[in-house]
Each structure stands twice: as C-alpha cells, then as structure tokens.
Chain A
Amino acid sequence: MWKRGLVGAAVLSLVAASAYASFFIAPTERTMGLIQRIFYFHAASAWAGMTAFSVCFVANLLYVWRRQPKWDSLGVSAAEVGLAFITIVLITGPIWAKPVWGIYWTWDARLTSTFVLWLLYISYLLLRTLIEEPDRRALLSALFGIFAFLDVPLVFGAIRWWRTQHPAPVIMGGPGSGLEPTMRAVFFFSVFALHALMAFLIVERYGLEKLRMELDIIRREAEAL
C-alpha cells in the first residue's frame, strides 16, 4: 500500500521538476516571451493524451478478441486519463492564444482536431453509461472505440487540409518551428514526466475499476437472491 504512495510521490516530483524546468531552466523565447513556456505542458499533454488513447485502442482490440474484463477496465481507464490530458490541451491552447493573437480560439488545425478527438472520447464514455449489462457495454464500447481511433488520422488530416484552404493563426508555431537544444531537453523531460503521470493515473484508475466491477457483481448476486 505504501509502495503506491512512494510511486505517486516520485511521479509528482517528476511533474514538479518538469514545471520548474519549464519556468526556470528553459530560456525565454524571443518573440512570445513568458507565455511560450506553457508550450511545455501543452504539447507534452497532447502527446500523453494520444498515448493514453493508443493504449485504449489496443485494450479495445484485445477485449474484442479475448473477451476478458480486464481489457475493458484498461480501456475505460486509459480513455478517462487521455480525456483529462486532452482537456488540459484544450485549456492551455486558448490561454496561450489570447496574449499572442488577441483571441482565445483561432480554429487552429491541431487544436480543432483535438477538440473533435475530445468529443469522440466523451461519446465513448457517454455510450458506456447508457448500456447496463457489463458484457454488452464492454463489447459495444470497445467496437466504438476502435472506430473512433481509426477516424483520428482522418480527422487530423482533413482538418489540416481544411486549414490550408482557409488559413488562420497557428497555435505555438507550425510544424516548421524549431526548438533550441535546452528547450528541446526541457520539452522531452516534460513529455517523460507527463507520461509517467499518465501511466500512474491509468494504473490507479484500473484498480478502481476492478473494485467497482467486483462490487457490481456482489450487488447483482445479492439482488438475485
């Protein structure tokens, strides 16, 4: 039990360290100034979110193939954690945009795609609340999760093309903008720290889900008596 606390403390220190690095170690960016530092959290959260959704996708495939409840638990845990990181992305984007572009939401390609991604996984979670029987819920949400994940590259691609048809302000520099070596180091450290946080949260949520399922089984058996 205390081991979990230790791991949790370690993960939190990592995140704190990356925050420190973002504010104090990374050099100030020339054009944007202080607000650019939010990039380290914004982009790293996006990566962590996408990794979480990839874990969800694999869990979905495994559930459809093996039908073991643990894959369903992993899927929902990864989806929720991924959604949390994506929400951070959607909040930090506008925080950055306002001082730089003067408006909160510029319909930037990546941010818009992230919003659609957010909607897809919210739907995944909503679908789960609308199916009561556990095996049905697991199978149908896994299948929707698979369809949603397959859609993601198409969504990102289509929105990027749409934006080339109708250009608009880009959040935090397009794909061409480079990172100076120290910045790159801080960025990858943030990515590492947030991935550690992601893994920790998924494991915790998975444990919670397993407890919930056991409770549900006991309750159903009691009702049947």
Chain B
Amino acid sequence: MTPPAVCSTSIRFEDIDKRYGGLYALRRVSLEVAAGECIVLAGRNGSGKTTLLRIAAGLVRPSAGKVSFSNVGSDQGGAKRVGFVAHATMVYDDLTAEENLLLFARLLGVAQAMQRVEALLREAGLFDRRDSLVRTFSRGMRQRVAIARALLNAPGILLLDEPATGLDPQGTGWLADTLRRMRVDGCTIVMSLHGESEISALATRAIRLDAGAIVADTRSGADLRSILAFADA
C-alpha cells in the first residue's frame, strides 16, 4: 500500500533561550531550517542539541523566543506532522512491537493503521518478532521500533537525537535508506550525531553548537568535516 504523502515543513527558531535555574542550556539561538533540508547538529554533550530538538518537537517550552513552522506544498493549511526519535526509546516494554506501533498510529489518526504498522515492521526487519514484548528485544531492535514509531504518520519534520545508538550495521543501513527516502520525499530532517558516518553523509548542512549557542554553520561557509570532527577543543 502507498504510505501517506509526506509534506514538507520549514522550521524557524527565533531568539530561543532555555534556562534551567540560572544556567542557560540555549542562549539566543536563531536558526532557519528550510523545507526539505537535512541538517546535522554536532557538538559536545551538554552543548544544547537535545534541548533544541525537544523544543522543536514541542516537548520543552523555551524560556524566551519562539519556534514557528510552515508547511510547503499540497498540505499548506494542515497541521504539522513531527516524528521524534529521542535518547529514550519512547515505547512500552510491556506491549508487543505491533501493539506499540498500533497504539501510536491510532492516536495519531493514521489511516489504515494496521496496514501501515505491518509495512513499517517489515521494513524495520521486525515482522517476525511483532508479537513479542518489547522488553524481550535487544537495544538495537528497540531502537528500530523507536524509529518506526517516528515514521508512522509520514512526518513533514523528522527530529532525531543520536538515532544510530545501539543499531548494528544492518540497522544503520536501514536507517540511512529510510532517511534517504524521506529526504527525497521532501521531509525536513534535523538530527544530532556524533562524528562522521553513513548517516551524516546524507546531510545538506551542518551546525555546531557549543555551550548553548551556534558556533559554526556550513551555510555561513564553515567546513562540514571540521564541524563533524569531534574535537574536544
């Protein structure tokens, strides 16, 4: 069956501040992500990548500034569809892989949920284990479920926080193929990664964060490899 049509969405961060007590996780971050761009966020732990992604996902409210979205293409008036892969898997250990995906598909209002879930399970290589509780899965398999969950409603924005964590080479290959396909379909992708890989090669732009601020951007002429190179300096 044909998956639902992807709609391309642009993101704009305006003067985003995020404070926790007196400490700034993000400081005056402004960023424009064009529809269909594929961006890599690089930076040390604690540089603000996760916070920025969670603000884009709508899970964290910024202390100042705002985030806005706009759909490009056929579904301009529709609500934005966001897929998010976080540090945690965000799936229920006590439900099966199929039950998990079906739950979220139904909540999201995905049409023909059952077929969509089956198709995704097949693509992720989990169809044989669909009736097993997620608790019995390896870390890599749980990550595949997490990624499948993010793809359920053909999001116009895909936000991924170190998505290759725990994946074996096969899983990483599947993730790279999926991201490649989403990019072709016009989905906007923002992902945080550590270092160069098969996944980072898909990026059209790279941004480096340090101590809550953007310090380098390939759009302003910085070199992609040096942004990705994991320098502790």
Q: Which residue in chain A gives the minimum CB-CB distance to B19?
A: A135
- Contacts A135-B20, A220-B22 given; 14 further ones with Cβ under 8 A? A133-B20, A133-B21, A134-B21, A135-B19, A135-B21, A216-B22, A217-B21, A217-B22, A218-B22, A220-B21, A220-B23, A221-B22, A221-B23, A224-B23
What 1/0 flags go to B1-33 for Cβ under 8 Å of A? 000000000000000000111110000000000
Q: Which residues of B contact A218 (CB under 8 A)?
A: 22
Query: With A and B bound together, what is the CA distance between A135 and B22 in angstroms?
Result: 10
Return A72 CB to nearest CB of chain B, in Å.
12
Residue of A at shortest CB range from B211?
A224
Chain B: CB-nearest residue to A217 = B22
Please give, as numbers and ranges, the residues of chain B lying within 8 Å of A134 by CB-CB distance.
21
The minimal Cβ–Cβ distance linking B21 to chain A, given in whole angstroms, is 5
Could you write out 14 A-B pairs with CB less than 8 Å apart? A133-B21, A134-B21, A135-B19, A135-B20, A135-B21, A216-B21, A217-B21, A217-B22, A218-B22, A220-B21, A220-B22, A220-B23, A221-B22, A221-B23
Chain B residues with CB under 8 Å of A135's CB are 19-21
Residues of A within 8 A of B21 (CB): 133-135, 216-217, 220
Across chains A and B, the number of contacting residue pairs, with CB separation under 8 Å, is 18
B22: chain A residues at CB < 8 Å are 216-218, 220-221
- Interface band, chain A: 10 to 19
Nearest Cβ on chain A to B128's Cβ, whole angstroms: 43
Q: Please report the C-alpha to C-alpha distance between residue A67 and residue B18 in the assembled complex, in whole angstroms.
A: 13
State the interface size on chain B (CB cutoff 8 A): 6
Min C-beta distance of A59 to chain B, whole Å: 20
Closest 8 CB pairs of A and B: A217-B22, A134-B21, A220-B22, A220-B21, A221-B22, A220-B23, A224-B23, A133-B20
Residues of the A chain whose Cβ atoms lie less than 8 Å from the Cβ of B23 = 220-221, 224
A75-105 to B contact mask, C-beta < 8 Å, 1/0: 0000000000000000000000000000000
Q: How far is the CA of A134 from the CA of B63 in the complex (A)?
A: 13
Residues of A within 8 A of B19 (CB): 135
Contacts of A221 in B (CB 8 A): 22-23
The CA-CA distance from A218 to B23 in the complex, in Å, is 10
Shortest beta-carbon distance, B184 to chain A, in Å? 41
CB of A69, distance to nearest CB on chain B (Å): 10
The B37-67 residues at the A interface (CB cut-off 8 A) are 63
In the complex, which residues of chain B have a beta carbon less than 8 angstroms from the beta carbon of A67? 63
- CB neighbors of B among A102-155 (8 A): 133-135
Q: Which residue of B lies closest to A137 (CB)?
A: B21
Task: Tell me the minimal C-beta distance from B16 to chain A in angstroms.
Answer: 15
Contacts of A216 in B (CB 8 A): 21-22
Within 8 A of A (CB), among B62-95: 63
Q: Which residue of B lies closest to A219 (CB)?
A: B22
Contact with B along A188-225 (1 / 0, CB 8 A): 00000000000000000000000000001110110010
| CA of A130 to CA of B23, assembled, Å | 20
A184 vs chain B, min Cβ distance (A): 50
Docked complex Cα distance between A67 and B62 (Å): 11
A220 to B22, CA, bound (A): 7
Report the minimal beta-carbon distance from B23 to chain A, rounded to whole angstroms. Answer: 6
Minimum C-beta distance from A167 to chain B (A)? 52
A217 cross-chain contacts in B, Cβ below 8 A: 21-22
Chain A nearest CB: distance from B47 CB in Å?
13
Q: Tell me the smallest distance from the CB of A112 to a CB of chain B, in Å.
A: 40
| A135–B64 alpha-carbon span in the complex (Å) | 14
A221 CA to B63 CA in the complex, in Å? 18
In whole angstroms, how far apart are the Cα atoms of A133 and B19 in the complex?
11
Please report the C-alpha to C-alpha distance between residue A135 and residue B23 in the assembled complex, in whole angstroms: 11
A217 and B20 alpha carbons, distance in the complex (Å): 10
Contacts of B63 in A (CB 8 A): 67
Residue numbers in B under 8 Å from A220 (CB-CB): 21-23
